[in-house]
Structure 1
Amino acid sequence: MDPEYFRSDMCWGTLGTVRPHSNFHPDRDVELLLLALEKKDSATLVRILTNRNNDQRQILAKTFEDLTQKELGAALKKGLSGDLERLLLELMMPPLQYEAYRLQEAMAGVGTDEESLLEILCTRTGPELKQISSIYRHMYKKELEKELRSETSGDFAKLIVALLNKEDVAGLVHKDAETLLQTLNGKKCDAGLWIEILTSRDPDHLRKVLDEVEYQSGLFLEEAFDKRFSGDLRLGLKVLVQCLQNPDLYLAKRINTMKVPLTQRVMVSHCEEDLLSIRAAFIKHTGTSLYSALQNHFKGDLLVALLNICRSED
């Protein structure tokens, strides 16, 4: 870890773990990056790129290109390989571009990674998703909604599209709770009402609605979903409810798979926003700090990079 990272008099009022470097000199950093690339010194690449925040990394990319007439990303791709290459390239993406990339990756190849789609769509706000859709169109020359429809089907497709287009509208807690309770008590559970309500109310309102539904039904919603739904729709509703009730815990469980690239992608996605909160949920859930858990599952420069993103022991 760069020792100068902590030598800062700035306000640290953030739940992110990666923050602006207080003694940032892009010209000097680029000189060090060039030398590291020439010598294949991956440790220096990791030290610099994981100890600068995304805005600073974008400045480094611009400075690198101005100096060399080459893209920093292309140079990293040429000089590195494997998981470390992917991690550093992903760190170089602007945040919402990275989310668009993650959505495309979840749909690429044979089979769709439904839970990664759900993770992003459930944890991002409506305005953020509108920006991500626009960025996706620019990056891939395709409409994100159309791509999501082609990769999903049935009520699950309706849920996915509704999440992409979610917005906050006024609602009454008691009325919404009664509507959902009636679907659980009927012979056939109307998925459409769940989709409509859970994708068109603000999170605070929905948490109250879900608490009321669980209290009145005497069931945890995951139990109710197991009884009334199946397949991808059941998974989708479970993930959505988990993200509404305790998003930090849900993301901590995702990280706890300790699978590359899942663990690193959640960490990169949240390192400048709320990884401190996710770390707290992780240690509460597992009894082990994220910093220690990473050391038990990864090694080498990839481990150093992930530890720098995690930042410290709890």
Structure 2
Amino acid sequence: MDSDYYSSSKMCWGTLGTVRPFSNFHPDRDAIAIQAALEKKDATTLTNIFTNRNNAQRQVIVQTFEELTKKDLAIAIKKATSGDLEDLLLELLMPPLQYEARRLQQAMAGLGTDEETLLEMLCTRSGKKLQEISAAYTQVYKKDLEKELKAETSGDFAKLVIALLNKESVPAGVQRDIGTLSASLNAKKADADPWIEILTSRDLSHLEKVLMGLEVETEQTVEQAVEKHFSGDVKLGLSILVQCIQAPYVYLAKRLTTMKAPIVQGIMISHCEEDLLYIRVAFKKLTGTSLYTALQSKFKGEYLQALLAICRSED
């Protein structure tokens, strides 16, 4: 699966994920097996069930487990497991929108803001999906996501983050957008406003043409232009946004090369039912090593086995 395949693929939603619906699904059997595994602290069985059912099936298991045992499955998992494995199993139990909301909340929690995780999510999700995540955020945390983002950011970076959260597709001319962006680079100090406005309010095919035309116009890559003319958080934000417009799977693969547990776990859970196969291909092209092999060089034990189960196979 190369870049041409990415653009030409007509495959149905979900077939590019590594975790798919389990064909012989019996939630009552799973609930009973989980109950026995929890009593024995059998992480292998827990991992096997959770990573071989898609999220919709896991939600049925949660409900069935509670009906059969009168216990909360998440609480039971906390008692039976610990560390990274506990976190991963609990996150697999969360409905997708709530999980995405949690990732955003964690990126803003504590001292300092995890700008890269915020940008990863805001740049790789559609405007419609982000509005759904925003609604889930309000439901879970009783706070407005846009207000939270404004409180955690400032200046041009704040403008970019809010524009990404509210991104929409507005018709415009390709040549006009190229001219506007090129002109902004000729000023003594580059103005971020037209970049933010254009890159967050056009459809993907339009933006791809704009960025290609801008590279011809300025005789440099767009990333080089951003690096040269901007600074601080807005430079980081525009750079990541450009990468996600041009090659989102390559950007996500680069994130995975850090091999930091929160990043790896976040991306793999978020994308395992959507397009993790594409990310695996990009990772192999980028590093020369499969994601499956790379995980084994960094992680250990039951947590590694869970990650490998989500990754699924060698490339």
TM-score, scaled relative to structure 1: 0.95
State how 1:285-300 maps to structure 2 within 5 Å. 285-300=286-301
**Corresponding residue number in structure 1 for 2:268:** 267
Gaps of 5+ in 2: 1-11
Question: Quick one: distance in 1 between partners of 2:314 and 2:228?
Answer: 41
**Corresponding residue number in structure 2 for 1:217:** 218
Are the counterparts in 1 of residues 177 and 210 from structure 2 also a CA contact under 8 Å? yes
Aligned length: 304
Question: Quick one: distance in 2 between partners of 1:288 and 1:25?
Answer: 37
Question: Quick one: distance in 1 between partners of 2:16 and 2:113?
Answer: 31
**Corresponding residue number in structure 1 for 2:157:** 156
Does residue 252 of the first structure (1) align with residue 253 of the second (2)?
yes
CA deviations over 1:87-144 (Å, ceiling 9, x no partner): 1111111111111000000000111000000000000100111111111001001000
Are the counterparts in 1 of residues 250 and 286 from structure 2 also a CA contact under 8 Å? yes
**Corresponding residue number in structure 1 for 2:65:** 64
**Corresponding residue number in structure 1 for 2:284:** 283
State how 1:1-314 maps to structure 2 within 5 Å. 14-314=15-315
Give 2:182's aligned amino acid: L
Question: Quick one: distance in 1 between partners of 2:54 and 2:14?
Answer: 15
Question: Quick one: distance in 1 between partners of 2:78 and 2:178?
Answer: 51
Q: Mean Cα displacement is larger for which, 132-141 or 181-190? A: 181-190
Q: 1:220: how far off?
A: 1.1
Structure 1 moving runs of 4+ over 4 Å? none
**Corresponding residue number in structure 2 for 1:5:** none
Question: Quick one: distance in 1 between partners of 2:50 and 2:73?
Answer: 11
Are the counterparts in 1 of residues 283 and 290 from structure 2 also a CA contact under 8 Å? yes
TM-score, scaled relative to structure 2: 0.95
Q: 1:201: how far off?
A: 0.5
Question: Quick one: distance in 2 between partners of 1:74 and 1:166?
Answer: 37
Question: Quick one: distance in 1 between partners of 2:39 and 2:113?
Answer: 39
Identity of aligned residues (%): 65
Question: Quick one: distance in 2 between partners of 1:116 and 1:12?
Answer: 24
Give 2:123's aligned amino acid: C
**Corresponding residue number in structure 2 for 1:3:** none
Gaps of 5+ in 1: 1-10
Q: For the aligned residues, what is the CA RMSD? A: 1.1
**Residue 261 of structure 1: SS of its match in structure 2?**
helix
Question: Quick one: distance in 1 between partners of 2:189 and 2:233?
Answer: 18
CA deviations over 1:130-179 (Å, ceiling 9, x no partner): 11111100100100000000000000000000000000111111111111
**Residue 261 of structure 2: SS of its match in structure 1?**
coil
Are the counterparts in 1 of residues 227 and 239 from structure 2 also a CA contact under 8 Å? no
Question: Quick one: distance in 1 between partners of 2:172 and 2:98?
Answer: 33
